[in-house]
């Protein structure tokens, strides 16, 4: 088999070996423990839990409440995960956790929460070229509504190298057994405006729940190819071009 054919076959096989045929932003199989702060936090062999211990209607005005920064995570895009949880009604019964390959949110019967996950290589920037793909997918594995009363909103914000940002949101009714939940929630790059999609430095996933909603997420991923796949495809293209010139 000729060299260019070998390279192209290797690229195809590498892509086929990835269940999502692209990069994994977070599969929640990596975590840092034990947690030493904030005070209302638990950690165990399979993950961690953080409680929101006060009413925080505006996470910009009240930074640092119910937050946890993890670094050195090998299977998380950029190697870091910054997690935040904000209780929107009362001082109890709202928490987030990473638990054995899943990210869980839980709000008590009298409250709802906002959970925020930020991926930015711990401030260094992801340098992600999103034009090589079409979307980011948030895979929701379960969603239970015990009280309802407000819609659920899931959002993905992209920030480019110049700090320009845009957000795409999806809103779901809080009806019990909503057929749209759980599901793979796709956020198309074509829906974002005013950004340099060749240089995405930060990805922010925001989960705004209904009252008493418990949800679980299995992964956040994109169809942007892994760097190794892109390199193999580029080499294959060069080899093919060289063959045609002969």
Parallel, antiparallel, or unpaired: how do β-strands 94-99 and 47-51 relate? antiparallel
CA distance 125 to 205: 16
Q: Is 176 exposed, middle or buried (0-12, 13-18, 19+ CB in 10 A)?
A: exposed
Q: Is the pTM of the predicted complex or chain greater than 0.85? A: no
Are the beta carbons of 215 and 105 closer than 8 angstroms?
yes
User: pLDDT tens, position by position, for the chain (246 residues)?
Assistant: 555 454 444 444 544 444 457 999 999 999 987 775 665 677 777 788 887 755 555 544 444 467 889 999 999 999 999 998 888 776 557 889 998 889 999 887 778 889 999 999 999 999 999 999 999 999 999 888 776 678 899 999 999 999 999 999 999 887 666 767 778 999 999 999 999 999 999 999 999 988 888 899 999 999 999 875 444 444 444 444 455 555
State the pLDDT at residue 67: 81
State the pLDDT at residue 17: 46
């Amino acid at each position: 088999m000729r060299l260019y054919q070998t390279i192209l076959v290797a690229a195809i096989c590498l892509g086929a070996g990835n269940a999502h045929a692209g990069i994994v932003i977070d599969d929640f199989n990596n975590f840092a423990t034990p947690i030493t702060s904030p005070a209302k936090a638990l950690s165990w062999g399979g993950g961690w839990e953080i409680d929101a211990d006060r009413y925080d209607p505006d996470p910009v005005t009240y930074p640092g409440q119910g937050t946890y920064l993890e670094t050195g995570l090998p299977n998380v895009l950029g190697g870091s995960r910054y997690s935040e949880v904000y209780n929107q009604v009362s001082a109890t019964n709202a928490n987030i956790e990473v638990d054995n390959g899943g990210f869980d949110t839980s709000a008590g019967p009298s409250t709802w929460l906002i959970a925020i996950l930020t991926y930015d290589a711990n401030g260094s920037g992801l340098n992600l070229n999103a034009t090589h793909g079409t979307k980011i997918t948030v895979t929701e594995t379960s969603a239970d509504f015990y009280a309802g009363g407000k819609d659920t909103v899931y959002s993905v914000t992209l920030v480019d190298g110049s700090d320009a940002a845009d957000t795409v949101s999806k809103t779901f009714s809080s009806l019990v057994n909503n057929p749209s939940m759980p599901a793979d929630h796709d956020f198309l790059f074509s829906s974002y405006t005013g950004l340099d999609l060749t240089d995405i430095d930060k990805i922010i996933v925001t989960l705004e729940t209904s009252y008493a909603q418990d949800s679980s997420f299995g992964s956040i991923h994109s169809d942007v190819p892994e760097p190794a796949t892109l390199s193999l495809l580029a080499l294959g293209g060069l080899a093919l071009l060289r063959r045609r010139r002969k």
